[in-house]
Amino acid sequence: MVRQSISRIVSGLADAEPGRVVARDDTGTLTAGGLDRASRVLARAYLALGVGRDSLVTVSLPNTLEMVVVCAAVWRCGATPHPVPRGLDADERAELEALARPALVVGVRSASADVPWLPEGWTPPPVGDADPVAPLPDAWATSWKAPASSGSTGRPKVVLAAAPALLDPDLPVTSFLPREQVQLVTGPLTHSAVFTYAFRGLLTGHELVLLPRFDERRVLRAIADHRVTWTMLVPTMMHRLLRLPEAERSAADLSSLETVVHLGAPCAPGLKRRFLDWVGPERVVEVYAGSESNGVLTIRGDEWLEHPGSVGRPTDGTRVAVRSPEGVDLPPGEVGQVWLHREGGPTYRYLGGRSARTADGWDTLGDLGRLDAEGYLVVVDRADDVILRGGVTVHPAEVERVLEAHPAVRSAVAFGVADDDLGQRVEAVVDVAGAAVDPGDVMAWARDRLDDSRRPTSVLVVHEPVRGDAGKTRRRAWAARVTAGTPGEGTSPDAGSGNA
């Protein structure tokens, strides 16, 4: 294996096929030669601003060609991109900036006046007689990425990858991310998984088709128009695609599509069956992994049909165990905390958090699950999300699956709020995307399908996405909003007319 710096790989792509399109967005296309030249110009400017080897550079940009060029420029400096979601509030941004201590912020204004900031669309000023595209010394960071955690289960933190910015471009990244694909990017590039697969793909010969955000009809058009072969979805996206009229889905040209990877959240078995029936089980791969890269499990659609509900078995040097709170390995069928072990040393370190990794290399993402007799893992929910209602354990994912089966519901979030009698009660928010839906109808739907202990006390109906395009949500924020508004059954507070 011959690993090269990302800088050298970008130049190699340009040397091999300078006119080949490596990325496209709504504004146009970016060739290999264009990426090479533009990233050199930016890297020179970033170095002049104080970016150096192993600096973190906060990047908070939309899905555009600029995002691709900026990250390539950061790697050319020997620095590490620190992608930060654009939807964070000012306090969260400030907290992340204090943890990362970036040398530069690109996109959203830095929280501190001491940190240099460049706005979206910035271009370097002329540099006199110097050649702005002259080669730079080859450099690479000891960490190739530093994504921000979603904050969906606590305070945001930075996940600093242990792997350096070195890669063998002649090898596929993994079995489910082969070389030389046309990759459709529908989620935000500031999200860890989207960032990882998009850039690792680009560096191994992919053409990236960037959508500004997920839109189900645009996804189908893009697959047909650009002959997309590979894309990644989260269950919320799959649900929205399946809500399209059957005539539209039947008419969609998916003939070029070879692989659909889905990850990011538990996928309801009913939803997955319908998706497999539409796309074809042999083209769908589910991946269970985290930003920490501390283990990977996979399962193909046809394999899933034999093990419904599973997220697969370990791959890429991973082992898996399900353990009790006391650390005892549990037998098949019993629910406990999921632990992963991956060959080699630590794959990450946190800035602003403590790793659960043990001295012998076992680590956990905080999920609950169970193994079957053949070693297939079923994820039940996140331990932090579990609701304890009057002594009964309620898994929000189970409640959400029922609510999302309602024909008018685009997505749902369930969570626990404090209750004097029960300790916690179950509440829920559903996004109906502009439909005229009475909360009482949704409650009636839940009553017919959930027992008393798992049924939401009330349902808040909103007309805005309750999950981002990366499939993540913030249960604590929704719980605070519901508690402040004290919505009850039959009420529908005006939550705006957000659209997707």
pLDDT tens per residue, range 298-322: 999 999 999 999 999 999 899 999 9
What pLDDT sits at residue 265?
78
* pLDDT over 60 at 494, yes or no: no
Specify the range with the lowest mean pLDDT, choosing from 181-190, 335-344, 394-403.
394-403
What pLDDT sits at residue 187?
92
Question: Which phi and psi (to 5°) does residue 402 adopt?
Answer: -65, -45
* pLDDT over 80 at 384, yes or no: no
* pLDDT over 80 at 150, yes or no: no
Contact 330, 336 (CB under 8 A): yes
And the tokens for 218?
A: 């645009």
pTM, rounded to two decimals = 0.82
To the nearest 10 degrees (0 to 180), the angle between helices 65-76 and 32-48 is 60
* pLDDT over 50 at 500, yes or no: no
Question: In angstroms, rounded to a whole number, what is the distance separating the alpha carbons of residues 446 and 12?
Answer: 57
Question: Which residues have C-beta within 8 Å of that of residue 443, sequence separation ≥ 6?
Answer: 455, 456, 458, 459, 489, 490
pLDDT tens per residue, range 158-209: 999 999 999 999 999 888 999 999 999 999 999 999 999 999 999 999 999 9
Band of residue 484 on the pLDDT scale cut at 50, 70, 90: confident
399-to-33, 117, 270, 457 alpha-carbon distances in Å:
50, 43, 14, 12
Question: Which phi and psi (to 5°) does residue 126 adopt?
Answer: -60, 150
DSSP string covering 173-229: SBTTB-SS-EEEE-S-TTSHHHHHHHHHHHTTTPEEEE-SS--HHHHHHHHHHHT--
Query: Strand 411-419's sheet: what is its strand order?
Result: 411-419, 423-431, 459-462
pLDDT tens per residue, range 425-456: 888 899 988 888 888 888 898 888 888 878 88
Question: Which residues have C-beta within 8 Å of that of residue 391, sequence separation ≥ 6?
Answer: 423
Contact 201, 177 (CB under 8 A): yes
* pLDDT over 80 at 390, yes or no: no
What one-letter code names the amino acid at 191?
Answer: H
What pLDDT sits at residue 383?
64
Considering only CA atoms, which of 233, 195, 211, 213 is closest in space to residue 471?
A: 233
What pLDDT sits at residue 420?
66
Question: In angstroms, rounded to a whole number, what is the distance separating the alpha carbons of residues 18 and 277?
Answer: 41
Environment class of 315 (CB within 10 Å of its CB; exposed 0-12, middle 13-18, buried 19+): middle
What pLDDT sits at residue 333?
93
What pLDDT sits at residue 457?
85
Domains of the chain, each with CATH number or no CATH: 1-167 (3.40.50.12780), 386-485 (3.30.300.30)
* pLDDT over 60 at 348, yes or no: yes
Percent of the chain with pLDDT over 90: 59
- Local structure of 392: helix, strand or coil: strand
Rg (CA), the chain: 23
The mean pLDDT value of the chain amounts to: 88
Contact 266, 272 (CB under 8 A): no
Question: In angstroms, rounded to a whole number, what is the distance separating the alpha carbons of residues 159 and 143?
Answer: 10
* pLDDT over 50 at 262, yes or no: yes
